[in-house]
Structure 1
Amino acid sequence: MKTKNLRYLAIASFISAATIFSSCSKNNDNKPTTPTPVAVTGVKLTTDAKFGAIITDNAGRALYAFAKDAGTTSNCVDGCAVTWPVFYKANPSIGTGLDAADFGVITRADGSKQTTYKNWPLYYFMNDAAQGDVKGDGVAGLWVVAKADYTVMVASAQLVGHDGANYNDQGIAGTGASSYLTDAKGHTLYLFTKDASQKNNFTKSDFSNDAVWPLDNVDAIGSIPSILTKGDFTLINTFGKSQLVYKNHPLYFFGQDAGVKGSTKGVSFPTPGAAIWKILNSGTPAL
């Protein structure tokens, strides 16, 4: 009898040990693991509930453009670059819906590289702590989340006229940065003070003077930076071409800006200080 009891005790002990071992193994299997960070290889379009399709890195982290990067260099340095870390990837992978030809590289003042999109250097925002955060858009009225379908962008810089002198946003001599509208690639847009509301009074029907002040021909209005009001933008028909309008002002480029990002020569043409052609911004009164 004693032998039989000992056999039962041995079996029970074995079962108990197996159960404990199994339980420990299960707990080990369920132990939380830290996810491996996604390696940054390039860029893609990511759908955001507020902004729609935005440009992010391939891990989904939002990218931004800076209005003060009006020219061909980055103006976010030192402490700014801590808050807004530079995005750079050599030979980046390009996600569906983006064109590799729109991406480029600049060399920053410190010799480091930075990726650009449609001539705008790209940045992260330090306060975007979690994937899906887009907290940097609109900061200080100078930061814009990157998107592929902007119809216009906003720049902020000293205006320099055709005569080489400094001007303010009223088209008269003055120093200091002015905010102004550009197309998606940073080319300056202007209004003609002799236009009427929703009516182009400059362009000739045969477009013989269009090279001097090319109208901004836009087939449809896409995204608009959130620091502007999309309802302020409309389209008019100018001799068969669809021209972009802001606050009832038809929009133009200046031929002698020669497609150079940041060039604002039109503010002093044809007569310095006459303010016949002006830049536009959120403070521009409606016609």
Structure 2
Amino acid sequence: MKKLMIVAASVLVLGLTGCGYATTNSPATDQVANEAEGAALSTIDDPKLGEIVVDEKGWVLYRFDGDTSEPPKSNCEGECAAAWPPSPSVDAANLTGIDASVLGSFSRSDGSGQSMLNNYLLYRYAGDKNPGDTLGQGVNGKWWAVTPDGKRAGQPAAPVLAKGPLSTIQHPQLGTIVVDAEGYALYRHKGDTDDPMASTCNGQCATAWPPVPAIKAEGSQGIQAPITSFQREDGSTQSSLDCWPLYRFAQDTAPGQVNGHGGADGTFFAVTPDGKFANDGKPIATTGSTYTY
């Protein structure tokens, strides 16, 4: 088994609402000591993506455009790594359908080993609900299922983040909160501004808290503030409620969950129908993320 000892670094339309807007490839030598017991890599044939890599339990593995391969470096730490768990180091004897010459291992900042193919680090996606799911494909335009030689699989899929129209649900602790068409809670960030409309959640933050793409307001129910959109610094559009940018939380894996309320050191909160912080911007005991950036 070959090893690379490298320390990872952490790394439009506006409605007439008064909203403002702001104008390489060969793994190094030595044996990896911390390979996860039983870790293995193999392949499956996905009907849309073709041959892709999975772990020993059949979970699809992904690569991140924010990482580098020369030299290998992970830019997914903290809460990003919770949403996209690193795939542990694998012994070459535990490969099926993958050439051992492309296998490598990376030493993360916490000392754990992470598997690589052609120097591209591998991750799972916490949002995949079953082995073989590919819900992480195309998320934020940066995450892709992996071919056996470490390349991006398939054609870039449109990110499925949040869908309109919006509606509301009654949460037992937070009261009435806003959800997307699939029932997933939406959030606001304390670091953002409404005039001009601007998001300060980029990079790893936007991976953990995917911005809600521009959606049509038509058909929304129970919403008491204007739904508009603005252009982010990367050129994509993001929905806003009462001029405040909206987000999903990657670790909400089922409709109605509010795992992101009070997260990121008390800077993200679920949203009320009038665009305010639910529960007056106060955490509830059973939720909250520790991600900082």
Q: Considering only CA atoms, is the larger Rg found in Structure 1 or Structure 2?
A: 1
> Normalising by structure 2, what TM-score?
0.38
